[in-house]
Structure 1
């Protein structure tokens, strides 16, 4: 038998395989795959072995959502399929009656959503419980929980406390009414950076709260938390002295808000820049908080009694505020909105009520040239239609604008001010050609009479337009034909 040379001694000259079809390039395939839904990616796997190997990770890289209704083979969401491809899964949502049956090690898993779902009637947890799922996945960074009270027991929270990389817990519509379970939960929060509690119920003693060490907490949201009175919640906030963002919604707040303002004045939270506060706080109490705050960059005081006193206090933050939400504040006047647009150079998002076109024209120049989202009802009197081009020209200066809602979030108007921004070319729409970043346009709360030429202008001028909202023309047949043009271009109807 002839001797064969050692493999290491062989010199192999690779042969270049010519690529005659651009779709054979992996870069092109991955680019295409990034735009496809999971079911379309599944079809692409059948093209060839090369496509299968390249695109399979993309199927599992997208959010994997499981529920009792969606557990069907074409989507590959059966427990055994998840475990077979576990190394690709990064974001997992389990909305199932028995979430423990999906317990496995997912090496790249960083976000986990649990619920809503209920355990079987016998309240047993076959095939492992949620504690195992947590312990098997130390890579978790975020856990989002909704309506899973039966599972949220002390062993589960002990496992959560042991996750080395966990930064965020979000809980909604859950009840923890056992004292040991509640204590285990609060202890697990000591390593958190972000905590969001929405419509949750906790049985918790104030002495447990005051013993917590929450110095790692950067963002805290307390949205109508039950069984924790206002002062217990304030004591929780006081434990988070490195807070950067606070969202606090409570039903009764007279005493707590006043004490919160005093704590602000004493610089208890030196890093706090984002503030979102409760409903129906009086103008005077809001002013006290705004006066006490050192430096606000994000301010959400929607549905509060924001008025002339708090407006005066808010001026000291005009040079730093980037996001401002005044929606639903009945005391906000058109002059206040115009002053904000003329005084906040770093403003990026503004939500408000009504600003009159005449106040814009007669007021000073806007300095918020970095604005990306404008949701304010721009209103014209019946004899003020000649102001339309001037308003379009003013908006055209906001060259960074991505989201425009000229009807704002207003669902009523005074009778003498019924006319809104008219999105037609002969009224001045063409001035907005400079807004190359436009992605979202809402015509809600406005009366529009657009025609095909306006729609084609938008598609040609706003290449990044993705979503349009509202009625484009008051005649239904014309409105539907305009929508056909937008949908054919891939623009979504919201």
Structure 2
């Protein structure tokens, strides 16, 4: 008999069930870390409707288990997890949790697609565990060959040795984050070679013992007891050219993040030589030294680079030169944090004016002048998103960007999102409710509304909105659909999809 109701179809019921909330925001305030509370009761009630609903919705309830969220661990006893381990798709374990719950996880978790684990050697020794560091985690990896995302953090105090053999068998791994490991004898390069056939995203954190020559001389890693050549179907073994000692190649890698630590710039340059199809690069190392060699390496070996992100103040005398020379065709996305917006720095950004579509700038010095950034808004004609953040909250009248940005018309007529964070915090208590209602009416008349269900900073006030809307009215940005002020999102009235 054909189904008489949409919810009788497994696909429809699973889709509807995925929208049933099982997490509740505990503190919706952007000033503090938003804490999620595990609230499975609504979904559990749906499980009792029928056997059919139980079968379809149970995998949604057991999609992930996160030990970093204390409420989830407290609500679910260990003995309740074991029968449902095979349903888990994501697993996050931090520090002391691994030795406590590993037996049931090692037995039952075989369908994970995402693992996030962290080792704490000191705490593990205090529990008198005689197992080698990383052994239970390696067993977990071997039990989940379909894993797509792995974030594996070693011990911050005493970096354990990274062993490439533990990654053999991960034939679907696309995202890999490694942090706080010792990589003597080329272990990092050997590890990357194991997963090179599928890897798309790679983040390298604090790593010790990495040498430049590791990436050109990386030996192959074979499964123990096998001498077979590489199988394209399984990805477990290597072709003859790997056995002959040809260096590492990450042909599918598109995103790379490097935060340095003990890894030298020279080693990182050798790594990017193995990434011919790299599109996005993130540099999180605060003291990278000279970057001219890195820029040359990117130009020669990464011709498709289009996105650069520098989330922390990068202390390098050659940063401006690096910005000019890092890409052969021009950057499409640039997110950068710096101390002083000097003229040479703005000029280096304008080197990519013909291609930039997404530009995000953050400054930490107090002498920021809004006029400094006008050349960017005049020269980058293809911009679709522009973000300007500053830790300095107050400006002289001539320096305030809200005033300076009205000095001339912007040429980025296709701008769709404007994100500003400066001078929007009031030092006094909240304004009177009557004035706030007046400002909200003014906002509505200007064609804007606050995005529903968004978090609002308690210190953010609406008193600067008249200047903001005056600026938008002057610039006549007809394509602008999204406005973010100090983390508070607004949208044009009538555009509900944003």
Interval containing the TM-score (normalised by the shorter chain): 0.5 to 0.7
8 Å Cα contact 1:423-1:429 kept in structure 2: no
8 Å Cα contact 1:323-1:348 kept in structure 2: yes
8 Å Cα contact 2:279-2:307 kept in structure 1: yes
1:273 counterpart residue number = 306
1:245 counterpart residue number = 280
Going from structure 1 to structure 2, the CA distance change for 1:243 and 1:337 (only over 3 Å counts) comes to same
CA displacement at 1:326 relative to structure 2: 1.5
1:203 counterpart residue number = 209
Higher relative contact order (CA 8 A, sep 6+): 2
Q: Distance in 2 between matches of 1:348 and 1:130?
A: 41
8 Å Cα contact 1:89-1:106 kept in structure 2: yes
Tell me, what secondary structure is at the counterpart of 2:444?
Answer: helix
1:24-103 alignment, distance < 5 Å: 27=12, 31=16, 34-37=19-22, 39-40=40-41, 41-61=43-63, 63-66=64-67, 74-75=75-76, 78=78, 81-95=80-94, 96-98=97-99, 100-101=102-103, 102-103=105-106
2:295 counterpart residue number = 261
Which of 346, 351, 358 is 2:388 aligned to? 351
Q: Distance in 1 between matches of 2:162 and 2:320?
A: 42
1:291 counterpart residue number = 324
2:256 counterpart residue number = 220
CA displacement at 1:90 relative to structure 2: 1.8
CA displacement at 1:311 relative to structure 2: 1.0
8 Å Cα contact 1:327-1:351 kept in structure 2: yes
8 Å Cα contact 1:444-1:469 kept in structure 2: no
Q: Distance in 2 between matches of 1:275 and 1:316?
A: 14
Alignment RMSD:
4.2
Unaligned runs of 5+ in 1: 1-13, 380-405, 413-421, 451-463, 472-494
* Structure index of larger Rg: 1
Unaligned runs of 5+ in 2: 23-38, 218-246, 391-398, 428-434, 465-480, 489-498
1:179-190 alignment, distance < 5 Å: 179=185, 181-182=187-188, 184-188=190-194, 190=196
8 Å Cα contact 2:285-2:314 kept in structure 1: no
Tell me, what secondary structure is at the counterpart of 2:283?
Answer: strand
Q: Distance in 1 between matches of 2:420 and 2:182?
A: 38
Work out whether 1:139 is the aligned partner of 2:146.
yes
Which of 160, 165, 169 is 1:158 aligned to? 165
CA displacement at 1:142 relative to structure 2: 0.7
CA displacement at 1:141 relative to structure 2: 0.8
CA displacement at 1:273 relative to structure 2: 1.0
Going from structure 1 to structure 2, the CA distance change for 1:74 and 1:281 (only over 3 Å counts) comes to closer
Q: Distance in 2 between matches of 1:222 and 1:303?
A: 18
Which is richer in helix? 1
Q: Distance in 2 between matches of 1:72 and 1:357?
A: 48
1:6 counterpart residue number = none
CA displacement at 1:275 relative to structure 2: 1.3
Corresponding residue pairs, total: 392
Q: Distance in 2 between matches of 1:186 and 1:315?
A: 36
